[in-house]
Amino acid sequence: MIKFIGIKNLIDSKENLSDYGFIYTLRNDDVETREGLLKCTFLLPENENDELLIESNKDYKNWLESPTFTDVVNNYMENHSDAATHSLINAVLHYWNHDDFLD
């Protein structure tokens, strides 16, 4: 299982994320605010056993699908090539709240 602490590390590693499956967080992590996302623990299963372990454990919750997260970040960067991390976090939060890309 791959662990990322903070959304900045997740954004920086977006090219290495899988093209299927969910990204998970710890159940009590705050995924609703920028401050929360900066501290979240993000988990990416590396195999089916990891995924089964996470899905059967009440300490974790699914967040966004890995390809969706990558698409949200890439879409914003296509329109704002010099986007700072805080802008990318805003794009992710916009998608989370509105199920829509921020252009």
The pLDDT tens digits of the residues spanning 1-22 come to: 999 999 999 999 999 898 889 9
At 47 the pLDDT is 92
- Give the residue numbers spanning the domain of 73: 2-98
Q: Are 53 and 39 in contact (CB under 8 A)?
A: no
Cα–Cα distance, 46 to 44 (Å, whole number): 6
Cα–Cα distance, 34 to 60 (Å, whole number): 20
Q: Confirm whether 58 is domain-assigned.
A: yes
At 20 the pLDDT is 87
Q: Confirm whether 33 is domain-assigned.
A: yes
Residues 6+ apart with CB under 8 A from 78: none
At 77 the pLDDT is 96
Note the pTM of the prediction, 2 decimals.
0.92
Write out pLDDT tens, residues 23-36: 999 999 999 999 99
At 83 the pLDDT is 94
Q: Confirm whether 20 is domain-assigned.
A: yes
* φ, ψ of residue 3 in degrees (nearest 5): -115, 135
Domain count, the chain: 1
pLDDT band per the 50, 70, 90 thresholds, residue 103? confident
Q: Confirm whether 103 is domain-assigned.
A: no
Q: Are 13 and 4 in contact (CB under 8 A)?
A: yes
Mean pLDDT of 55-84: 96
Using alpha carbons, select from 14, 28, 87 the residue that is nearest to residue 63.
28
Cα–Cα distance, 102 to 16 (Å, whole number): 23
Percent of the chain with pLDDT over 70: 100
